[in-house]
Amino acid sequence: MSERSAWKALAPWLAVFVLLLLAPRFLPRFQIYLTGLILTTGLLAVSLNLVLGLGGMYQFHHAVFYGIGAYTVALVITKTALSPWIGFLLAPVVSALFSLAIGLICVRLSKLYFGMLQISLGSLVWAVVFRWYSFTGGDDGIHGIPVPDIISSTDGAYYFSLILTAICLIVMQRIVNSPFGRSFQAVRDNPVRSEAVGINVKRVQLTGMVISGAFAGIAGSMFVVIEGSVFPELMFWTLSLEIIIMCLLGGWFTFLGPMLGAAIIVLLRTVVGIYTEYWTLVLGIVLMLLILFLPQGVLGYFLEIFKRGGMKAVQERK
Amino acid sequence: MLLVENLQKSFDGFIAVSDARLEVEKGEVVAVIGPNGAGKTTLFNLITGQLRADSGRLLFKGENISGMPPYGICRKGISRSFQVVNIFARLTVFENVRVSVISHNKRTFNLFSRAESIAVSETEEILKSLGFSEKSDRISGSLSHGDQKVLEMAIALGNRPELLILDEPTAGMSPEETRDTLELMKLLSRERGITILFCEHDMELVFSISNRIMVMQHGRTIIQGKPDVVRNDTHVQEAYLGGADERF
């Protein structure tokens, strides 16, 4: 890609970033909070898609690593005398370590068996958190977590999540386009052939899981800043299912599709949730329509139209 | 270079390979022939680690490689192509080959450099040597069967193998494609000094390129020898070619 076309591709994203940067000046507080939540959930979904879409692994219990990141921050702040920032640094590390432990056991199995075993191991972590009242607060969770002043206001929390999301997305994009990303894709498409060209498939998959878990942990730490609390539902398997739906909804063969999927689900839940508690009914209908009409996901669909339009333009010029 | 002794493999009581013996010297082109179901593909899968042998010895350059995982064997210098097309169907031709070049250069776990600028010249060179340069941006799944078979070889070459194992490289190819593949194999053997072990049903091709031929039947090695010796062996003629008067 030439330098000029690289800038051209980058420009819209820069514009979106600047717009989001200025958002607190013209949006009311609730919407800023909501945008922060979308970014957090979106980062979580993109991190899942790293293993699900790029690596083709059935990561059925991704929320565990999100929850662990959130709890790490919460516990460092409320149970230790350490600086809260250490909690934020530890969140991805601890999530990555759990990812490694669970991955070491699961990665031996393939496809559905991998996913099923992951659900069981993840649920084990959830059960411990759910029951260990003296340490994790049990099913009550931990509330009113005092995050550092600079990020405790609505705007502060928003900027924290915006900047962190931007950095994480850039790093993840980089990983997707790295030799590792290409090899991970190759493993997804054809593990047998990958082994035959000298790729240690299990190790690639494990590395992918650890990376993805670390980013989920970062998303978890952002959640603490935005909500000021943690609770076991953060690592319950239904949330994992919801993240998978976000990926499918947005388009799991695109990098930012899951982010869009997350936005749709968070907005649906909030907006439809005002009128009825049965918002999942609407979600169900949306999902059915999507599977029937846009199997490649919302972003996948628009990218295809965009590509087709671009090709037509090229042909017309000829 | 490669030594196979008394190799045995069974699946649920069915003995696919009962006693395979094979010797491949450096620089040779060795063919394995035999009727369908003789155990040729199983033998190759055993050598490259896709399957694990029940018993027997597998030595590559004097080192025991039996029980090693496929990626480990590949790193020792053995690459292979598959009989049934086995490529990365959703990636472009270029990416297909680049994956194995990246693996060979030990950069699989490189997380932050740009893949776009890595292994470009090596990949281009391999594609060029196979006459594949114009097709490098095509999604490999959309290629014709013959082209996919050639891509099979290209991927295997990405690992810069010392020993290249080809499982029916011309299966399903047109006569022209078969001729091109034959020329390519000659080129790889002569100019790059790659040792080639392959199995094939096209007898004309087998006898025109091989230094030595190994004949398998019912999972057993009947004979391994120079083409002339094999051609005139009565066991082979009876067992494999269905009678002494049949010509090939």
Nearest C-alpha in B relative to A190: B88
Nearest Cβ partner for B86 among A183, A185, A193: A193
Subunit contact B79:A192, Cβ cutoff 8 A = no
In the chain, the amino acid numbered B46 is L
Mean pLDDT, consecutive 10-residue stretches, chain A (318 aa), reads 70 90 91 95 97 94 97 95 94 97 93 93 95 90 91 92 96 95 94 94 96 97 96 94 92 91 91 84 85 83 78 60
Q: In what order do the strands lie in the sheet with B55-60?
A: B63-64, B55-60, B2-11, B14-24, B220-225, B212-217, B29-33, B195-199, B163-167, B78-81
Q: Please report residues of B whose CB lies closer than 8 A to that of A53.
A: none
User: Which has the closest alpha carbon to B152: B104, B239, B89?
Assistant: B89
Q: How far apart are CA A162 and CA A168, in angstroms?
A: 10
Contact B89 A204 (CB under 8 A): no
**Across residues B16-33, what is the average pLDDT?**
93
Q: Does B107 touch chain A (CB under 8 A)?
A: yes
pLDDT level of residue B159 (50, 70, 90 thresholds): very high
- Give the pLDDT score at A201: 95
- Tell me what pLDDT residue B153 has: 92
SS3 A194: helix
B114 shares contact with chain A (CB less than 8 Å): yes
**CA angle B208–B211–B214, rounded 5-degree value:** 100
Percentage of the residues of chain B whose pLDDT score is greater than 70: 96
- Asked if the Cβ–Cβ distance from A196 to B69 is below 8 Å, we say no
Contacts of B70 in chain A (CB under 8 A): 195-196
How high is the pLDDT of residue A237? 93
> Is the Cβ of B48 closer than 8 Å to some Cβ of chain A?
yes
Token pair in block for residue A198: 């000298």
Categorize the per-residue pLDDT at B235 as very low, low, confident or very high, splitting at 50, 70 and 90.
confident
Hey, are the CB atoms on A186 and B111 less than 8 Å from each other? no
Question: Is it the case that residue B129 has pLDDT exceeding 50?
Answer: yes
- The burial class, CB within 10 Å (0-12 / 13-18 / 19+), for A269 is middle
Task: List the 202-261 stretch of A: residues with Cβ below 8 A of B.
Answer: 203-204, 207, 211
Task: Give the Cα-Cα-Cα angle A245, A249, A254 (nearest 5 degrees).
Answer: 110
DSSP state of B119: S
Q: What is the pLDDT of residue B113?
A: 87
Q: Is the pLDDT of residue B247 over 60?
A: no
Q: Do A64 and A98 touch, CB atoms closer than 8 A?
A: yes
Q: Which of B71, B109, B159 sits opposite A207 (nearest CB)?
A: B109
Nearest to A193 among B88, B107, B112 (CB): B88
Tell me which DSSP letter residue A151 carries.
Answer: G
Distance, in Å, from the CA atom of A110 to the CA atom of A42, rounded to the nearest integer, reads 27
Structural tokens at position A93:
């590390």
- CA–CA dist A198, B150 (Å, integer): 19
Percent above pLDDT 90 for chain B:
67
Q: Do the Cβ atoms of B87 and A192 come within 8 Å? A: no
Residue A193: which of B87, B114, B118 has the nearest Cβ?
B87
Closest Cα of chain A to B22: distance in Å? 21
* A200 interfacial to chain B (CB closer than 8 Å): yes
Q: Reply yes or no on whether the pLDDT at B246 is more than 50.
A: no
Is A19 touching B (CB cutoff 8 A)? no
Residue A216 neighbours by CB under 8 Å, 6+ apart: A44, A47, A48, A62, A63, A65, A66, A69, A95
Residue to mutate among A1, A175, A182, with most B CBs inside 10 A, is: A182
Separation between Cα atoms, residue A35 and residue B43, nearest integer Å: 59
pLDDT at A72: 97
Amino acid identity at A144: G
Q: Please list every residue in chain B whose beta carbon sits closer than 8 Å to the beta carbon of residue A179.
A: 102, 107-108, 110, 113, 115, 118-119
What pLDDT does residue A279 have? Answer: 82
Residue type for B149, please?
A: K
Residues in CB range of A257: below 8 A, 6 or more apart: A49, A53, A247, A250, A251, A297, A298, A299, A300
Separation between Cα atoms, residue B12 and residue A311, nearest integer Å: 54
Size of interface A-B (CB pairs under 8 A): 107
Could you give the CA distance from residue B64 to residue B58 in angstroms, rounded to a whole number? Answer: 6
Select the residue of B50, B74, B102 nearest A179 (Cβ to Cβ): B102
* pLDDT reported for residue A282: 86
Place B245 in a pLDDT band, splitting at 50, 70 and 90: very low
Which residues in chain A have Cβ-Cβ distances shorter than 8 Å to B83?
A: none
Question: How close, in Å, is residue B90 to chain A by CA atoms?
Answer: 7
Residue type, A99: S
Average of per-residue pLDDT across B189-218: 91
- pLDDT value of residue B244: 44
Please name the amino acid found at residue A130.
F
- For B38-97, strand residue ranges (E) read 55-60, 63-64, 78-81
**Contact check, Cβ <8 Å, B109/A180:** yes
- Give pTM, 2 decimals: 0.89
Interface of A with B in 67-96 (CB under 8 A): none
Contact call for B86 and A190, based on CB within 8 A: yes
- Residue to substitute from B108, B139, B159, interface A, most A β-carbons within 10 A: B108
Residues A196, B50: C-beta atoms closer than 8 Å? yes
A165 touches chain B (CB under 8 A): no
Distance CA B56, CA A10 (A): 59
| CA angle (A152, A153, A157) in 5-degree steps | 70
Taking the CA of residue A136 as centre, how many other CA atoms within 13 Å lie in the half-sphere pointing to its CB? 22
Spatial separation of the C-alpha atoms in residues A294 and B57, rounded to whole Å: 54
Beta bridge partners of B33: B215
d(C-alpha A153, C-alpha A151), whole Å: 6
Q: What is the largest CA-CA distance in chain B?
A: 64
* Mean local confidence (pLDDT), B154-177: 93
Q: What is the pLDDT of residues B53-112, one digit of tens each?
A: 999 999 999 999 988 999 999 999 999 999 999 999 999 999 999 999 999 999 899 998
Asked if B102 and A183 come within 8 Å (Cβ–Cβ), the reply is yes
B14 interfaces chain A, CB cutoff of 8 Å: no
Q: What is the CATH number of domain B2-239?
A: 3.40.50.300
Whether B102 and A182 lie within 8 Å, measured CB to CB: yes
CB–CB of B103 and A190 under 8 A?
no
Q: Which residues of A touch B48 (CB under 8 A)?
A: 196
